Amino acid sequence: MSAVLGGEPLSRFQLQSVFVQEADQLKGVVRRNYICDGDRLENTAEHSWHLALMVMTLAEHANQPINIFKTIQMLLIHDLVEIDAGDTYCHDLAANQDKAEREEKAADRIFGLLPEDQSQTYYQLWQEFEARVTPESRFANAVDRFLPLTQNMAAGGIAWRHNRVSKAQVMVRCRPIEDGSVTLWHQAESIIDQAVDKGYLAT
């Protein structure tokens, strides 16, 4: 997308407006997880909002004190790359092989729509989330992995059963939860065991 309009460079506000309008496309990116009542699949914009709400509600359970505002910022932008890269199902090994490359390219384009200072800030927040080395990024990743677990359980394991997902796969996917919140990890272990008992997950 060009940063000029009618031969004139876009103003700061115009650049920001272009970015905000572009972000609207995230509402059309359909994920493989169902909402809790199992009625339909969720979209990525809904997912990002739900994660931000979780941080506001569950921040006290982080392993280390976190900057709540920064963590929410991280979660609101971390999946914007899916506008270009699409949602990559976590248990699809083939699709995950080039996920990092696709998302890096998407980050360059999408965050590049913003004024330079905001572009750098958003890109750095996205990189921080991916690296999982700060308390904020670890907790952000914890809720990002915990939420689909609770949704799958509430929806009767539809996505798990449809994709023939095993307990071992879910354990691998969810293990980083412990790095951000031991409390959430203990809850995750309990949910996974219940899912196996109910036949939602293959053993």
Q: List pLDDT tens digits, range 125-154.
A: 999 999 999 999 999 999 999 999 999 999
Q: Which residue has the tokens 């951000």?
A: 180
Domains along the chain?
12-197 (1.10.3210.10)
Using pLDDT thresholds of 50, 70 and 90, give the confidence band for residue 4. Answer: low
Q: List pLDDT tens digits, range 84-113.
A: 999 987 877 777 888 999 999 999 999 999
Q: Does the pLDDT of residue 157 top 70, yes or no?
A: yes
pTM over 0.85? The answer is yes
Q: Does the pLDDT of residue 2 top 50, yes or no?
A: no
Q: Does the pLDDT of residue 1 top 70, yes or no?
A: no
